[in-house]
Structure 1
């Protein structure tokens, strides 16, 4: 292995998100990367575009002693089995969100990680957004006291940004599709990062407009974490690409405008918001940040990646939200 690149990463699944992982791990300059997929035509294009090795056999690629880590970017129903085999082979693993579509086998990942002494993280890339990282850090300082009310609104024209959504995992709940498992799960994971575990959830979800699929494209969640009341609204058809956060605490309020890359604070009794820029440029930068965090963690440094434990807790909320949307009742987690 090239001594200038101490990590060799296998990216399993080279669809849209897998290709982004491959590209962004290469962009760190710290890792050699191999792409793996069952689609040989896609692999040929990956090899041409990035001049990187490709393979159709991920299990064989794991046997390479120079491979140090793997990224699982396949449909979510395959994540736990693949992550288990990766860690059994002694490799670190970054698992795309959601961790799974059910709880079976998830707790075993923690035991296996600890027994093997490996890094295992879940790819909730919103933790890499500078606006949200800055807000998390500020709230963690305790300057404004406890969080009492948290509201997030988020939406986009999904068909414009992900035109292939009908043909991929998104169209199938069993593969991790739908707005709950694919979209609002990012918001839930970030919320739990700052509030702690969500304890109750009421979810109203529906298919409203997105053509060619039956899974939900609109989600409203009311939840509670300790004394914090939580409201989340998410849809996949609105015209503006929008992501806004409002957090009201004992001694002030915080607002984040992710799309415009800024956040602000207003202390109780003050009249003017104090705004800060939180520039992150184009979307690949977030995944490069996540890739660097993963490599840093392998090298023993603390990072802000979602742990397995946090990914499992977010999975509980995903499943509770799906249950609540079907039953029309509040679900305790």
Structure 2
């Protein structure tokens, strides 16, 4: 599929690689993850999403160890994505987030830092050019016009979790190819302003966590699998007072999935795919069985009535709990200061 209007082509579904190395518990065994990535590529899922913040750096190092044949077109998507293990066709994306200081992650959009981070990622990934490079989170201290500089080391520019106005300002300076955002049956706030803005400007949409961070795969029992260090333990929607309420959503989606002859996760993922041909979801997994399940979602066909029913089940009023806890810095829908003249 074509992602955005600048010429980048990606597989219709991607693979989020974050959970292989960070945030969802301890890093997974490297040989297993390399196997999984190869299986993804051989199955036609060649849009891989990574970031220098995953580990930090260990996810990039893992992906660099994947052996790619010259026949494959590999597109590595944002959250940091990159491409280019072979000489190069296809598109890839990579995310820049920020720098670590005193054990804390700080968003940094300073051009000097962005340039250094890009060069460091190129070195870790063993590539010469990044096809799609996202600003993982927006630095609210630095005008977006300053951050977006051309260095010849990337082909396409993306943003993640930016506000509609920031997207417009950035696109006016340099064409934005893709915006990455959280979009799923229970995270639909982006439909009000950000999705329409992307479509107005011809910007591709990359949906991360399209399965509700695993909720629509396993339902409430998912929390029983959270290991030490899994940050989902702290998310409001997975807290007992909200989980019991949200259990009803999963049951209703599950019942509908049974009627459609698919699993709840496939139904939830199919809903994202049916949002339009400008949308590419990037579900993450660390298991080949789950990868196959996600690929199966491409065969699920939904009618307008199915879409409407799903959306009524998971309306904003029906979901209990915010996306993030109030004490977690997310830089969601971030605004940047105006460039002084």
Superposition TM-score, scaled by structure 2 size: 0.34
Larger Cα-atom Rg:
1
Superposition TM-score, scaled by structure 1 size: 0.34
